[in-house]
Structure 1
Amino acid sequence: MTKIAVLDDWQGIARQSADWSKLEARAEVVFFDEAFADEDAAAAGLAEFDILLSMRERTPMPRSLIQRLPKLAMLGITGAANPSLDVAACTERGIAVCNTVGYGSGAFATAELALGLLIAAARGIPQGDAGIRQGEFQHGVPVGISLAGKTLGLIGLGRLGARMARYGEALDMTILAWSQNLTAETAQEAGAELVSKDELLEGSDAISLHLVLSPRSRGIIGAADIARMKPGAILINTSRGPLVDEAALIAAVTAGRIVAALDVFDREPLPADHPLRTAPNTVLTPHLGYGVAETWAVFYPQSVENAVSFLDGKPLRVINPEVLAAG
């Protein structure tokens, strides 16, 4: 019988987000709600599966892992592309890669979370919540700042960065923006002022990152950049952990120079003994950005549809169509 693995269902939301009955009538469907410890564990756990339905980049799929999955015939990804997947390796093996299209009404969920992290960090909301639950009231809660009249710096002003600019405007913040390809006209259309990277770092009370991770953007916020930030400034990252030099960030929050509000990390899930878990001056969420009910209502039904169509011999949304031609 065909075996299908639904990977990385960390919140246990996959089964209720789609109708799996058509698939389960034709295949054994196994839901994985824990991350694999490493590539060896992934290879051992997935060796008997014919179809993998993955969730974004949670389980990396490099060539070295693809080559260790002898039965794999189709791999489903969520979103248009998956940077952690070696599509070329799949193509060489004759493995069809099928994606999903759109996010539904959850398209701006990550920007909404960035706004939440900004306000949580500015007002000490996590400390206030924890204190009340421990029998305290205001003791130990840092004095917050009002965001009205402050400056929000946006590194990256695409779809999500532009939405964050609108949120900043609604809070009566001044909006600065920078990225390597940003023009003054595009910044102005989003309600922001284009400035240099150094001007943004030095002039912003809060900085939010909205970039795709690539060789060019990896480490775009390094130790020298963090040193340029205002004392007490808030750094928000809902994009990808490796955009920021993690060691420099940990040093800065430990020293009390800045506050970090993070939804993403260099390694996910964040290891139990990771220093960020106990670092002061931080607000941490477990990569919740895009993960809302409206997104799952697109990702999982389309994933089921992709797998059923593949089993029917009529693959949908194939991003390496040369596999079909070769077949």
Structure 2
Amino acid sequence: MPERPQALFAMTEQNMPHIFPPEVLARLREHVEIDPTLVARDFTGPRIRETLARTEVLITGWGCPRLDTAALDAAPRLRAVLHAAGSVKDFTTEEVWRRGIAVSSAAAANALPVAEYTLAMILLAGKNVFEYRDQLRTRRTFPYGDLLPGIGNHGRRVGIVGASRIGRRLIELLRPHDLRLSLADPYVDEAEAARLGVPLVTLDELLRTSDIVTVHAPQTPETRHLVGARELALMPTGSVLINTARGSLVDHDALVTEVRAGRLSAILDVTDPEPLPADSPLFDLPNAFVTPHLAGSLGNEVARLGQTVVEEAARLAAGSRLVHTIDHTALERMA
């Protein structure tokens, strides 16, 4: 049996046992040599430096220290970083890529709960659940006396902004439902959209023709206020904006104006700033539904991130190709 590569945890220490609960940790240790009591929150301590000198694989997560030249010089045998979370932008540096170190991310696993949350919100918004729940709470009797022809998910038009991992996973989850989808993404061509099974349109057209718009683009300088006052004005009266990406993609002042006027509704799991100020009207407006950035992996879902790392560690130990490697050339336009 080949010798297991030496590995080291590098993340916020309290997160490690949740990402790698006992059964997941046991499977990880089948493929790498790792001390679960040693978790690097920085790369300066003597015990960490001693282990780092022989480390071939870094198992990283939220709170990983920055992999700058000094850290990498202390890890001359490092050949792979397996990240048990989504974005690697906060801790990787150009030096990582220059040295040819493979970087893998559990972003695909993290995409699933976000896509599930979004699917649930789309279906609930299509039934106008939030408004009618509030009316029922207030009146204590059914707040309608007809078939409510304005609600329902039969043929509801859903526009997806961004064919990110989450956007693509959402398309898969929406496929069995009787909805009409469209996609806006400047990096997707007609052929790729056809493979995804979704019509490709411009952002303006998507906004004009969707009952529900859901945002899944990455946070970059170019996407700041991607949905601003002009874009919100294009959305039909009565339509819904869902944002589970990053708060900065939406101009919140413009959104508040539209929501306060009652023209649009908003479902926000991310905001700008985050959290919102205590006096933000979005907390109280009846057509705004705000959750505390919980769409991504939390609770028992974070073990899925650890399991993804275990699978990558097994491939690495077997000399196989990693499945979830990050394309450095595309990093700027990734989350």
Q: TM-score if structure 2 supplies the norm length?
A: 0.63
| CA deviation map 1:103-154 (0-9, x unaligned) | 55x65332221111112223343455667778935459xx671121221111
What secondary structure, in the 3-state scheme, does the structure 2 residue paired with 1:279 have? coil
Compared CA separation, residues 18 and 296, structure 1 to 2 (3 A): farther
Provide structure 2 residue ranges, at least 5 long, that are not aligned to the other structure.
Answer: 1-8, 49-57, 313-321, 327-335
Provide structure 1 residue ranges, at least 5 long, that are not aligned to the other structure.
Answer: 31-44, 307-316, 320-327
Compared CA separation, residues 28 and 61, structure 1 to 2 (3 A): closer
Number of equivalent positions? 293
Q: Assess if the C-alpha contact under 8 Å between 2:207 and 2:231 holds in 1.
A: yes
Partner residue in 2 for 1:38: none
Q: Are 2:203 and 1:197 equivalent residues in the alignment?
A: yes
Q: C-alpha distance in 2, partners of 1:274/1:238?
A: 22
**Residue type at the aligned position of 2:181:** I
Question: What is the 5 A alignment of 1:17-166?
Answer: 54-55=61-62, 77-79=83-85, 81-85=87-91, 87=93, 100-101=105-106, 103=108, 108-126=112-130, 136-138=140-142, 145-166=151-172
Q: Are 2:219 and 1:207 equivalent residues in the alignment?
A: no
Q: C-alpha distance in 1, partners of 2:66/2:272?
A: 17
Shift of 1:224: 0.5
Compared CA separation, residues 128 and 191, structure 1 to 2 (3 A): same
Compared CA separation, residues 218 and 202, structure 1 to 2 (3 A): same
Shift of 1:267: 4.0
| CA deviation map 1:245-276 (0-9, x unaligned) | 122122221221211112222344x2461613
Q: Assess if the C-alpha contact under 8 Å between 1:120 and 1:283 holds in 2.
A: no
Q: C-alpha distance in 2, partners of 1:197/1:148?
A: 23
RMSD (Å) for aligned C-alpha atoms:
5.1
Q: Assess if the C-alpha contact under 8 Å between 2:18 and 2:303 holds in 1.
A: no
Compared CA separation, residues 265 and 60, structure 1 to 2 (3 A): farther
Shift of 1:213: 1.9
Q: Assess if the C-alpha contact under 8 Å between 1:235 and 1:258 holds in 2.
A: yes
Shift of 1:299: 2.7
Compared CA separation, residues 98 and 135, structure 1 to 2 (3 A): farther
| CA deviation map 1:143-177 (0-9, x unaligned) | 67112122111112344324433444533222222
Identity of aligned residues (%): 25
Q: C-alpha distance in 1, partners of 2:25/2:175?
A: 43
**Residue type at the aligned position of 1:123:** K
Q: Assess if the C-alpha contact under 8 Å between 1:103 and 1:295 holds in 2.
A: no
| CA deviation map 1:5-52 (0-9, x unaligned) | 853969x94574766698xx967679xxxxxxxxxxxxxx98997699
